Structure 1
Amino acid sequence: MGNLLTFSVNKPIPETSSRCLTECTTAAHNFEVIKYSLLERMGARKFVSSSTFRVSGYEWKISIYPDGIGEEDKAAYMSVFLCFCSGATMDVKVKFTLSLLEKDGKISNLNSKTTTAKFKPVVGDSWGWAKFIDKSKLKELLAHDCFTIRCVLTVIKDHHTEDVSTVLVPVPQSDLHAHFANMLKDGQGMDVTFSVGGQLFSAHRYVLAARSSVFKAELFGQMKETTMECIKIEDMEPATFEALLHFIYTDNLPSNCHVDQNVALQHLLVAADRYGLDRLNAICEEKLCQKIDVQTVATTLALAEQHHTVQLKNACLQYLSLQDVLQAVKKTDGFKHLTTSCPSIMMEILDKVAPSSDV
């Protein structure tokens, strides 16, 4: 009897598992406000809105009240709200963050607010903050009388429960890019050297050839320069080539901040186009579209025209069509360069802004 009891106590207990999964979709929208000073004193409960944007089948917009949503807030606060526009027959649960971007385009935790809310399926139903930011503080953060509100919106849908196998094998995330980054950093096995602006960079020719058809032709084709001890690259900054190498080995931009600046991105886009790196070209184009302002739009448009980046060109033309923007841009050195380097683009600018402006 004792042996039977011991056997029963030590026998493994059958186990099963299940888990609850919640379906959700996340997207972001940036709403840029130009000439903010012209919106002041428009009155409490008066607002300007972004274009509608779609997330998970629902349409939304951002509404900004420069003089607040209530009379008591008029002198002190700007109000910001997320508004439901269409696409629902029942309540929609969302989690959203509204952030005021700083002058460098980065999100500041001090100027971000997050909440979870249920929107009714009624056009105009809104949630947000009446006292989003003190107007005196906002003026300190303005860049050329402009600011951007970024909304990151997660639509939370149905949840369901499913059975889970008790034999779970954790699969690590891919770290292929990390191994290639170490190859570039460690320098082992490097067999080709480049001279860029007086600085030397070493690399693995097979990696370069695998990632770029231009490098493949230079290193292994009829253009190969294998007899040279060092390949000299003209018309490129060392920092740009360093960023180019980092992308070739990791498929990502380096983390150092200077690559995210407008001029550096322009140089990197040129390098990406030169070496046939389409993904890098698209990354630079997307980032430049988000960094257009009065001081940079002319040089960015010239770049877009010269390198046939259609989306970037359209974004520049759209920015120039905004009220009073062209008059300010015409005073910049970049506009003077644009008129001489890309004279044909002037007619497109005129078509975009006429008849409200005169080039």
Structure 2
Amino acid sequence: MLRDGFRTMVTIGSDDCIRSGMCAVGRYEWEICVYPAWTAGSPDGDKWVALRLVLLSKPNTPAVRANLRCQAVNPNLWYETPVKKQPGVFGRPKNSTPFVYLVSVSDVQNKGYLAADALTVECTITVLKESPAPTSPAKEMPVPSSNLPKNLGDLPQTEMGADVTFLVSDESFAAHKNILAARSPVFKAQFFGEMKEKVSQDVEVDGIEAAGFKAMLHFIYTDTVPELEQGLEAVMAQHLLVAADRYGLDKLKMFCENKLSSGITVDTAATTLALAEQHNCLRLKASCVEFIVSTPEVIDAVLETEGYKDLAASCFFVWVGCKLFFCAGRSSQVYAWEK
């Protein structure tokens, strides 16, 4: 409201304004500047009541958008001017909207807008909701597959940083105690527990074939067994199972059990059965028995193999149990076929 002497105010300079004072809208501070006698750019070159909206605070985004809506009213006569609107874009403090030419001074004085020589102007500030700054979609760059298994798998070959050497069947294999201990509870106890090796960095290994020990080391470093994936012979799988069981590598032991279970033959059934008994492979043992008693012909063929004859020497109680089981199995199957 322009109070107390509007007619006097219009005699001031065209650039002089009356400030509304600070008001907070939409997390920003604003003020409205009212020019009672603005002439520059006016519609008819005469004096007009003009307004502009000014941003006082610093924007949080590159551009704040707001609208100024205003109209002059006579509170006593309910007489008002048409609503004028002016949008603005504010990039920094002191930015403002273009001028809003509200009403000419002559209309204010002659058309009943004044009440007790005061002009009332209603203003509304609307701050538009800020949209997130547009961003171009990030282009996904192809990420190469991990080469960690290869890098670790190369360590025993290069012997870089190796601190222990295994002597297996006239072959030597360099390795790293920390990696071995992290993968095997047996190696952990051997190198860092109460039974740790103190005499020499060379460790002799008996009862394991060199090829099986080498494949076991590769698994420890890479968690893969190329020999199993490429279809190794049953004998190799048996050697690898022995190494896995000795050093507590349960995952590798399971791989070997699965490989041997899927490749049981007449020639390997008894040998694999003995191996399963010696290393507590219950599922593998069950697979061997299931294969052997599948038909009377298979039973007879297995009984003639060298592996079955060796079974009596290596696992006597298993051999006795097999004799009884085979006889029972043959009798029950013959009875079933005759029926």
What range is the shorter-chain TM-score in? Answer: 0.5 to 0.7
Q: Does 1:247 align with 2:219?
A: yes
CA distance in 2, matches of 1:300, 1:189: 38
CA distance in 2, matches of 1:268, 1:255: 10
- State the partner residue of 2:304: 331
Residues 17-41 of structure 1: CA distance to partner in whole angstroms, max 9, x if unpaired? xxxxxxxxxxxxxxxxxxxxxxxxx
TM-score when normalising by structure 1? 0.50
Note closer, same or farther for the CA distance 1:357–1:281 as it changes in structure 2 (3 Å cut). Answer: farther
Aligned length: 194
Report the CA distance between 1:231 and its aligned residue: 1.1
Note closer, same or farther for the CA distance 1:341–1:229 as it changes in structure 2 (3 Å cut). Answer: closer
Q: Is the 8 A contact 2:244 2:253 kept in 1?
A: yes
CA distance in 1, matches of 2:334, 2:257: 27
Structure 1 letter corresponding to 2:287 = A
Q: Structure 1: which 4+ aligned runs deviate by more than 3 Å?
A: 254-259, 347-354
Q: Does 1:285 align with 2:257?
A: yes
User: Helix, strand or coil: the match of 2:266?
Assistant: coil
Q: Is the 8 A contact 1:218 1:225 kept in 2?
A: yes
Report the CA distance between 1:221 and its aligned residue: 0.9
CA distance in 2, matches of 1:297, 1:317: 8
Structure 1 letter corresponding to 2:292 = L
More displaced 10-residue stretch of structure 1: 255-264 or 315-324? 255-264
Structure 2 letter corresponding to 1:178 = K
- State the partner residue of 1:270: 242
CA distance in 1, matches of 2:147, 2:230: 25
- State the partner residue of 1:190: 162
User: Helix, strand or coil: the match of 1:200?
Assistant: strand
Percent identity between matched residues is 43
CA distance in 2, matches of 1:302, 1:168: 55
Report the CA distance between 1:213 and its aligned residue: 0.6
Q: 1:1-359, aligned counterparts within 5 Å?
A: 167-255=139-227, 260-323=232-295, 324-342=297-315, 343-344=317-318, 345-346=321-322, 347-350=324-327, 352-356=329-333
User: Helix, strand or coil: the match of 2:274?
Assistant: helix
CA distance in 1, matches of 2:334, 2:313: 20
- State the partner residue of 2:15: none
CA distance in 1, matches of 2:189, 2:298: 45
CA distance in 2, matches of 1:173, 1:274: 33
Residues 307-344 of structure 1: CA distance to partner in whole angstroms, max 9, x if unpaired? 11122111111111222100111111111122343333
Note closer, same or farther for the CA distance 1:258–1:169 as it changes in structure 2 (3 Å cut). Answer: closer
Rg larger for: 2
Structure 2 letter corresponding to 1:289 = S
Structure 2 letter corresponding to 1:215 = F
Residues 12-62 of structure 1: CA distance to partner in whole angstroms, max 9, x if unpaired? xxxxxxxxxxxxxxxxxxxxxxxxxxxxxxxxxxxxxxxxxxxxxxxxxxx
CA distance in 2, matches of 1:355, 1:191: 59
Residues 54-94 of structure 1: CA distance to partner in whole angstroms, max 9, x if unpaired? xxxxxxxxxxxxxxxxxxxxxxxxxxxxxxxxxxxxxxxxx
CA distance in 2, matches of 1:226, 1:290: 43
Larger fraction in strand = 1
More displaced 10-residue stretch of structure 1: 283-292 or 252-261? 252-261
Report the CA distance between 1:353 and its aligned residue: 5.0
Q: Is the 8 A contact 1:259 1:265 kept in 2?
A: no
User: Helix, strand or coil: the match of 2:333?
Assistant: coil
Q: Which runs of 5+ in 2 are unaligned?
A: 1-136
User: Helix, strand or coil: the match of 1:335?
Assistant: helix
Q: Is the 8 A contact 1:268 1:284 kept in 2?
A: yes
Report the CA distance between 1:284 and its aligned residue: 0.6
Report the CA distance between 1:303 and its aligned residue: 0.8
Note closer, same or farther for the CA distance 1:253–1:196 as it changes in structure 2 (3 Å cut). Answer: same
Report the CA distance between 1:175 and its aligned residue: 2.1
Report the CA distance between 1:191 and its aligned residue: 0.6
User: Helix, strand or coil: the match of 2:332?
Assistant: coil
Note closer, same or farther for the CA distance 1:290–1:276 as it changes in structure 2 (3 Å cut). Answer: same
- State the partner residue of 1:49: none
Q: Is the 8 A contact 1:317 1:349 kept in 2?
A: no
Residues 184-239 of structure 1: CA distance to partner in whole angstroms, max 9, x if unpaired? 22111001111111222111110100010101111111111133131111112211
